């Protein structure tokens, strides 16, 4: 909550700015994966003028494994910068990291838009696109971590607004795709307009960030150092851990890494009989308490990224060519996934089930594994080994509904449960019975950081496995 002597956020300008910044941080990933049919068309030999932006009735052959590479090269930078964030954030000022990242992302997306108009052979086009994906997601990782660091000095509602913007990025990209396809213009103009949209979004994000120093409310909070910020609440961190990334994807582990300074009195609260431990607790001790929850998080994202979007983007409608077959994948794959994933994440605001020490949690996580063969057996025309057992569109839609809701709910649940301390009323009895000890107040920061690492690890494992599942089709 804002302090009593703090200035007012006039016209909610700071809140709107952070909402737009949240939207801008996840636009790159979502705009790339939603445009997979366009890239496949270019790599199949088309120059972009003869391919529609959306999915055709028969998708172009993915000869370069574009789906897999774009997923892998988007997630590896997140894992890398999750490991390097402490070093980078201490050496480079916030303003340089944030503005520099936004400018590089803007330039690389402008390059992607320019390439729509350039007739280029598939090989150099693939190389340039993959390099852009790598660098864009690298700077997105730095950008998100830096913005979360600044949000650590502000009231919790601004973190919520930032996360809300991130949650809408995937839906925004899917709607932009549908509007481009429905515009009635030629395919090249449609693709150009589609890729200009995130350029405008990033440009607006830059304007929003540059406006913050001119807003009295933002100056009041951002002038404080996170380590000395007052008025921080424990609920803020729990809310952030509960409201995981994305875009669905899964593409924003840094949001879970935001660690806020706890109230000094609350920091020193210890469980009965627990000796006080000065400083940060050993990582291995905290890992012993959260290893099962961390493993569940890794498995959830491994399953999700192993088929989405590498396999799901290849699924086409089994109906005759027409409007529905053209709009099928943007609607039933990307838009449906993002909407239902947001719904799944929001469910943890009302209940948290099963509990951290329940055997049902790993069981529910493992029950998502069958989604991999189910999607592989849907209507994917380009296959040489497996049969098509679920040709009807209704099968794919049903699978996607359950797949997306379960992803959002289980990711949010595991990220929320890991740093929680409640659940074991008697720590001594927990040692006797062998039930897992819960995270103590002074261990929450380490728990959140560990879960961030395992989140990024799950994303990278899933992206790597997508190559195997694609080869088995």
> pLDDT tens across 77-106, in order?
888 887 777 677 678 888 899 999 999 999
Output the pLDDT for position 431: 39
Name the DSSP letter for residue 331: I
160 compared with 243, residue with greater pLDDT = 160
Q: Is residue 2 part of a domain?
A: no
Q: Which of residues 232 and 26 earns the better pLDDT score?
A: 26
Tell whether 4 is covered by a domain: no
Query: Which range of residues forms the domain containing residue 356?
Result: 10-269+279-472
- Closest C-alpha to 48, from 113, 127, 132, 136: 113
Closest CA to 234 of 81, 455, 421: 421
At 364 the pLDDT is 94
In whole angstroms, what is the distance from residue 111 CA to residue 269 CA?
Answer: 53
Cβ burial, residue 161 (10 Å; 0-12/13-18/19+)? buried
Helix (H, G, I), strand (E, B) or coil at 356: coil
Q: Is the predicted pLDDT of residue 266 greater than 90, yes or no?
A: no
Average pLDDT, stretch 122-130? 93
pLDDT band at 152, cuts 50/70/90?
Answer: confident
The C-alpha atoms of residue 336 and residue 178 are separated, in whole angstroms, by 13
Distances (CA, A) of 225 to 219, 231, 261: 12, 13, 10
* The total number of structural domains that make up the chain: 1
With contact defined as beta carbons under 8 Å apart, do 97 and 146 qualify? yes
Residue pair 248/417 in contact (Cβ under 8 Å)? The answer is: no
Query: Can you give the CATH number for the domain in which 121 is found?
Result: 1.20.1250.20
Scan for tokens 């694609």, then name that residue: 470
> Is the separation of the CB atoms in 152 and 11 below 8 Å?
no
What is the Cα Rg of the chain in Å? 23
User: Quick check: helix, strand or coil at residue 246?
Assistant: strand
- pLDDT, average across residues 214-240: 60
Q: How far apart (Å, rounded) are the C-alpha atoms in residues 14 and 19?
A: 9
Token pair for 236: 């803020």
Residue 246 forms beta bridges with which residues?
Answer: 249
Asked if the structure places residue 218 within a domain, the reply is yes
Residue 371 backbone phi and psi in degrees, to 5: -60, -30
DSSP secondary structure letters along 357-386: T-THHHHHHHTTTTHHHHHHTBS-SS-SSS
How far apart are the C-alpha atoms of 461 and 274, rounded to whole Å?
Answer: 37
> What pLDDT band is residue 58 in, cutting at 50, 70 and 90?
very low
Residue 450 has phi, psi (to 5 degrees) of -60, -45
- Lowest-confidence range among 54-58, 256-260, 396-400? 256-260
Q: Which residue has the higher pLDDT, 399 or 51?
A: 399
DSSP, collapsed to helix, strand or coil, labels residue 14 as helix
Q: How far, CA to CA in Å, does 198 sit from each of 20, 56, 179, 191, 347?
A: 12, 23, 14, 12, 29
Residue 305 lies in a domain: yes
What pLDDT is attached to residue 153?
80
Closest to 458 measured CA to CA, from 253, 240, 287: 253
| CB contact burial 384-397 (16+ within 10 A = b; e otherwise) | eeeeeebeebebbe
Averaged pLDDT, 41-47: 72
Whether residue 1 is contained in a domain is answered as no
| Highest mean pLDDT out of 273-277, 303-307, 415-419 | 303-307
pLDDT, tens digit, 9 for 90 and up, residues 399-432: 999 999 999 999 888 887 776 644 443 444 343 3
The model's confidence at residue 351, banded by pLDDT at 50, 70 and 90, is confident
Q: Say which residue, 274 or 41, is predicted with more confidence.
A: 41
List Cβ neighbours of 353 (8 Å cut-off, separation of 6 or more): none
Query: Mean pLDDT, to the nearest integer, of 278-304?
Result: 85
Give the pLDDT of residue 186: 79
Which tokens go with 126? Answer: 């693939």
- Integer Cα distance of 39 and 26 in angstroms: 19
Burial classification of residue 425, based on how many CB atoms lie within 10 Å of its CB (0-12 exposed, 13-18 middle, 19 or more buried): exposed
- pLDDT level of residue 40 (50, 70, 90 thresholds): confident
CB 415 within 8 A of CB 455: yes
Please compute the mean of the pLDDT values over residues 27-32 and round it to a whole number.
Answer: 87
Q: Across residues 5-28, what is the average pLDDT? A: 89
First CA to last CA distance, the chain: 53
Given a cut of 80, whether residue 326 has pLDDT beyond it is yes
Has residue 65 got a pLDDT over 60?
Answer: yes
**pLDDT of the residue at 148:** 81
CA torsion sign for 319, 320, 322, 325 is positive
Q: What is the pLDDT of residue 322?
A: 82
In a domain, 259, yes or no: yes
Tell whether the model's pLDDT for residue 314 goes beyond 60: yes
Evaluate whether residue 448 is within a structural domain: yes
Q: What distance in Å separates the CA atoms of residue 8 and residue 207, rounded to the nearest whole number?
A: 21
| The predicted structure's pLDDT at residue 227 | 45
- Tell me, yes or no, whether 14 lies in a domain: yes
């Amino acid at each position: 909550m804002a302090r009593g002597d703090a200035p007012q956020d006039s016209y909610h300008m700071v809140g709107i700015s952070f909402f737009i910044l949240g939207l801008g941080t996840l636009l790159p990933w979502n705009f790339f994966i939603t445009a997979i049919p366009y890239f496949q068309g270019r790599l199949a030999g088309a120059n972009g003028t003869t391919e529609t932006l959306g999915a055709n009735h028969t998708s172009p052959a993915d000869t370069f494994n574009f789906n897999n590479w774009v997923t892998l090269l988007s997630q590896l930078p997140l894992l890398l910068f999750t490991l390097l964030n402490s070093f980078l954030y201490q050496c480079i000022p916030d303003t340089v990291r944030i503005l520099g990242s936004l400018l590089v992302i803007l330039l690389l997306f402008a390059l992607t838009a320019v390439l729509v108009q350039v007739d280029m052979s598939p090989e150099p086009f693939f190389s340039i696109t993959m390099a852009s994906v790598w660098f864009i997601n690298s700077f997105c990782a730095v950008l998100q971590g830096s913005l979360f660091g600044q949000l650590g000095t502000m009231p919790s509602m601004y973190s919520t607004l930032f996360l809300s913007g991130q949650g809408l990025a995937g839906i925004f990209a899917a709607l932009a795709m549908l509007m481009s396809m429905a515009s009635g213009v030629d395919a090249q103009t449609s693709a150009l307009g589609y890729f200009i949209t995130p350029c405008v979004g990033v440009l607006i994000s830059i304007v929003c960030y540059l406006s913050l120093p001119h807003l009295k409310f933002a100056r009041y909070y951002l002038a404080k150092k996170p380590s000395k910020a007052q008025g921080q609440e424990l609920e803020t961190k729990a809310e952030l851990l509960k409201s995981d990334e994305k875009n669905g994807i899964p593409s924003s582990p840094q949001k879970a890494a935001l660690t806020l300074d706890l109230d000094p009195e609350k920091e020193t609260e210890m469980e009965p009989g627990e000796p006080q431990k000065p400083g940060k607790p050993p990582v291995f001790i905290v890992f012993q308490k959260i290893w099962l929850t961390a493993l569940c998080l890794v498995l959830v994202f491994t399953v999700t990224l192993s088929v989405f979007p590498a396999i799901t983007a290849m699924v086409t409608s089994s109906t005759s060519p027409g409007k529905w077959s053209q709009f099928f994948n943007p609607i039933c794959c990307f838009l449906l996934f993002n909407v239902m994933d947001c719904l799944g994440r929001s469910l943890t605001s009302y209940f948290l089930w099963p509990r951290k020490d329940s055997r049902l949690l790993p069981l529910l996580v493992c029950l998502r594994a069958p989604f991999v063969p189910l999607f592989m057996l849907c209507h994917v025309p380009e296959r040489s080994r497996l049969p098509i057992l679920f040709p009807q569109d209704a099968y794919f839609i049903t699978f996607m509904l359950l797949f997306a809701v379960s992803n959002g709910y289980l990711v949010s649940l595991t990220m929320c449960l890991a740093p929680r301390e409640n659940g074991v009323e008697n720590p001594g009895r927990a040692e006797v019975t062998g039930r897992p000890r819960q995270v103590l107040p002074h261990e929450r920061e380490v728990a959140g950081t560990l879960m961030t690492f395992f989140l990024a690890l799950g994303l990278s494992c899933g992206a790597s496995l997508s190559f195997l599942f694609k080869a088995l089709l």
